[in-house]
């Protein structure tokens, strides 16, 4: 959905899965230590952000609601494949738009997994049925459940610049409810504005202190600052030589330890993707099963370079 700008900026690049535009061997990543299995709960969202990487909105149903039974099937596959999964993550869209969100979280928690739910903590989460379900999960699995709240910026005006007027106040209301009921929270922030990491973390620390949120602004697992994914910017292709040049290993890249399950509109069954960030790129769809998803991933997209290898981003806590 956002590939046109990328193609213009990176003309001639990212065309061959195995060879770069310069004829060098493209880097690939093996699934060596699967830690997180993500489920996209659907692309529908209660708001439409300016820079949403997945184009979520109140009308985008390109990825439809996944069900608890479908989640259960993949949890069975984890056991069959003996994947050492620690965490089940739910992202969207807005996960609490999905009417089976509580059931999907519960079946995951019942299997002993940690559960991470990405949410804007706004009206969908604050519906009575969702609050009641969350309280039951908190009662039974408090140490295993974390909600990561999207707070693009600790300043209301800049947050609302991305998410719409009044969004910050509604998210803050949800966070206060989570705080008052003892839920573990984390934060997902953005680096869209011209603030360095030290400034950003100091600002979030002051915001957390003001509202008595038990979140560590200096801990990258609790306060995740995501680099922007501007597909109109030219980025280098990642070759096998880059690992040594950058002092990194393939194991540091997200697709070495995670996969994402989505259900496309009109599809009979869900599919497994190599990357949580590329739901609309067909070359990153690996099949319908976890067995098929054990294949290596060719780093053949600008996001692989800028967001993961060069930006060092990770979606997991």
- Six-digit token pair at 10? 């990176």
Query: If you average pLDDT over every residue of the chain, what do you get?
Result: 92
- Six-digit token pair at 15? 């065309």
Position 1 scores a pLDDT of 54
For residues 38 and 276, give the distance between their C-alpha atoms in angstroms, rounded to a whole number. 7
For residues 260 and 258, give the distance between their C-alpha atoms in angstroms, rounded to a whole number. 7
pTM of the prediction? Answer: 0.93
For residues 31 and 301, give the distance between their C-alpha atoms in angstroms, rounded to a whole number. 18
What are the backbone angles phi and psi of residue 215, rounded to the nearest 5°? -130, 135
> Tokens 């213009």 — which residue?
8
Q: Determine the CATH number of domain 33-232+254-298.
A: 3.20.20.70
Residues near 20 by beta carbon (within 8 Å), at least 6 away in sequence: 13, 26, 237, 239
Position 51 scores a pLDDT of 82
Cα separation values, 273 from 21, 33, 39, 97, 119, Å: 25, 16, 10, 22, 21
**How do residues 267-300 score in pLDDT, each as one tens digit?**
999 999 999 989 999 999 999 999 999 999 999 9
**How do residues 91-127 score in pLDDT, each as one tens digit?**
999 999 999 999 999 999 999 999 999 999 999 999 9
Position 233 scores a pLDDT of 72
Confidence of residue 231 (pLDDT cuts 50, 70, 90): low
Neighbouring CB atoms inside 10 A of 156's CB total 17
For residues 241 and 152, give the distance between their C-alpha atoms in angstroms, rounded to a whole number. 35
For residues 25 and 205, give the distance between their C-alpha atoms in angstroms, rounded to a whole number. 43
Confidence of residue 6 (pLDDT cuts 50, 70, 90): very low
What are the backbone angles phi and psi of residue 260, rounded to the nearest 5°? -130, 135
> Tokens 């009641």 — which residue?
132
Q: What percent of the chain has pLDDT over 70?
A: 93
């Amino acid at each position: 959905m956002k590939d046109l700008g990328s193609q213009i900026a990176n003309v001639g690049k990212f065309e061959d899965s195995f060879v770069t535009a310069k004829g060098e061997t493209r880097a690939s990543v093996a699934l060596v230590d699967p830690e997180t299995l993500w489920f996209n709960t659907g692309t529908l969202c209660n708001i439409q952000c300016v820079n949403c990487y997945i184009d979520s909105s109140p009308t985008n149903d390109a990825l439809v609601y996944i069900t608890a039974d479908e989640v259960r099937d993949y949890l069975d596959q984890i056991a069959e494949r003996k994947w050492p999964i620690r965490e089940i993550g739910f992202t969207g869209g807005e996960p609490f738009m999905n009417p089976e969100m509580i059931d999907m979280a519960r079946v995951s928690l019942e299997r002993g997994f940690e559960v991470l739910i990405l949410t804007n903590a706004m009206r969908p989460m604050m519906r009575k049925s969702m609050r009641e379900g969350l309280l039951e999960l908190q009662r039974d699995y408090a140490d295993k459940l974390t909600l990561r709240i999207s707070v693009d910026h600790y300043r209301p005006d800049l947050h609302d610049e991305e998410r719409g007027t009044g969004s910050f106040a509604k998210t803050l209301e949800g966070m206060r409810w989570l705080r008052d009921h003892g839920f573990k929270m984390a934060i997902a922030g953005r680096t869209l504005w011209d603030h360095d990491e030290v400034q950003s973390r100091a600002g979030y620390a002051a915001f957390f202190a003001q509202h008595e949120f038990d979140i560590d602004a200096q801990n990258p697992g609790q306060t995740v600052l995501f680099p922007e994914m501007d597909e109109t910017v030219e980025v280098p292709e990642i070759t096998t030589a880059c690992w040594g040049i950058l002092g990194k290993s393939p194991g540091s890249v997200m697709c070495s330890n995670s996969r994402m399950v989505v259900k496309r509109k009109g599809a009979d069954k869900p599919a497994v993707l190599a990357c949580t960030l590329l739901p609309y790129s067909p070359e990153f769809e690996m099949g319908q099963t976890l067995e098929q998803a054990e294949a290596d991933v060719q780093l053949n997209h600008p996001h692989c370079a800028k967001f993961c290898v060069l930006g060092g981003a990770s979606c997991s806590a």
